[in-house]
Amino acid sequence: MNEREKIIADYFNSWIEKDISVPANTFAGGAVYIESWGPVYRGLDHILYWIEDWNRMHSVIEWNIYKFYHIGNVCICEWFFKCNCYGDISEFNGVSIITFNDENKIVLLKEYKSETQDIFPYE
C-alpha cells in the first residue's frame, strides 16, 4: 500500500472509529468535499463540522476499499459502505476521486455511489 492509499484507508477507518483527528490532519485547509448525493463542504472547518454532526446521529459500520487507481496527484478508489442512519441500515458501493496536493493533503474529494443490489433488466 502506498502512502496515499494508507491516508485514504486511515481516513475511511476514522469514520468507523469516530476519530475526528484523522480528517483534521488529512484535508488541506481549503479542501472541497462533494458527497455522492449532492452536498458540498468547502474548507476544513465545514468538513470537520459535517463529520462531527453526522457522527452524532449515525454510525459507519463498514467502509471497505476494493481497488485503487492512480493518475498523477489523483487517486480513485472503489469501495463498499455500510452505515446505521436513524436505526436503519443502509449500504451501497461507491467510487471516490481524490486529489492530493504536494504535501499529500486532500484538496478535493468527490464521491459517487451505486446501489449494492445489481439489477439485470434483460434477463
Q: Give the number of domains in the chain.
A: 1
What CA–CA distances, in Å, run from 58 to 100, 104, 112, 116?
28, 29, 20, 20
Q: Taking Cα atoms as reference points, which of 50, 8, 12, 32 lies closest to residue 107?
A: 32
pLDDT value at 115 more than 90: no
Task: Give the pLDDT confidence score for residue 117 in this predicted structure.
Answer: 74
For the domain that residue 20 is a member of, what is the CATH number? 3.10.450.50
- Say if 120 falls within a structural domain: no
Residue 123 located in a structural domain: no
Q: Does the residue 44 lie in any domain?
A: yes
- 62 in a structural domain: yes
Distance CA 77, CA 53 (A): 25
Q: Are 13 and 109 in contact (CB under 8 A)?
A: no
Domain presence at residue 50: yes
Q: Is residue 122 part of a domain?
A: no
Q: What is the mean pLDDT of the chain?
A: 95
The predicted-structure confidence for 6-58, as pLDDT tens digits, reads as follows 999 999 999 999 999 999 999 999 999 999 989 999 999 999 999 999 999 99
Nearest to 59 by CA among 91, 100, 30: 91
Percent of the chain with pLDDT over 90: 89
Residue 58 included in any domain: yes
- Does any domain span residue 55? yes
pLDDT in the model for residue 118 = 74
Enter the DSSP assignment of 39: -
Query: CA torsion angle for 112, 117, 68, 25 (degrees, to 10)?
Result: 50
